Copies of this chain bind each other. A is one copy, B any other.
Amino acid sequence: MCRWLAYSGSPIMLEDIVYKPDHSLIDQSLHSKLGIETTNGDGFGIGWYGHHDTPAIFKEIGPAWNNRNLRELTSHLRSRMFFAHIRASTGSAVQQTNCHPFRHGRWLWMHNGMIAGFHQIRRELALAVSPGLFSCIEGSTDSELMFFLALSLGLEEDPPGAVARMVGLVEETGQRNGVENPMQMTVAVCNGETLWAFRYSTEGRSRSLFHSADIEGLRALYPGNALVRTASDDARLIVSEPLGDVPEVWIEVPEASYAMVHRSRNEIRPFSPAAVATRS
């Protein structure tokens, strides 16, 4: 459906991660290897933390591979935490408000996957969004709605808990409406300080997700590799599919788990949906 990457570490020029590695995200926009579709050309977006607490976002509806503005920006922007996403629409409109990452205050969110039977349960899920947040919804994707559900369920206080409740709610709603495997997702969310990345699907066959290994260790083994050489010791990457040509850089995020990256620390923890108290 989509491909994405998330970076946390010492400030780095975005192009060093987004364009320069072999099989970069730009290459994946034309030739994804592990995605459902080889082409991810229905829009793209980047979100990055710079001078402010609030991140900036840049989104376009054309393909990433031919976008000159993206090429320009990533070669002039440095950031210590950023998201990049390329989209393959499963039918919803190709418009900026459907491009990832989504932003709310200091938070960024992006997603690969889908809510099965979304048309059937979209209304019920929309009603579960906190009334104060409802009018912030601008697009028509399941991904954005998942974000606003997670925000409604406490994302800003307890990200893993809120994502667990969001998934629980989607699964409960879907199953009640006869949808067999409601949730399929890899999701990244961050607040400028910490980054969480979830891999989960109801059926237990989630889309691919990888995190980077310890760069310091890799540097000794691959001193000549560009990606390894460019990255700082504290650099941590989470990606839909591996970049570069050194397989040892990448460790699969296990099924039903999530990564939490804070500075140079990267922990992997189990993930399971949580029940949401019945609404009156």
Contact = CB atoms under 8 A, between A and B. Distances in A.
Interface string A24-67: 00000010000001110110000010111000111111110110
A68 interface: yes
B39 A39 contact: yes
Copy number in the complex reads 4
A122 interface: yes
A89 B139 CA distance: 16
A180 interface: no
A4 B142 CA distance: 33
A127 interface: yes
Interface of A: 13, 30, 37-39, 41-42, 48, 50-52, 56-63, 65-66, 68-69, 72-73, 75-76, 78, 89, 92-97, 118-120, 122-123, 126-127, 131, 134-135, 137-140
Give 10 nearest A-B pairs by CB, closest first.
A95-B95, A123-B134, A56-B76, A119-B135, A50-B76, A56-B72, A122-B135, A66-B94, A41-B41, A138-B140
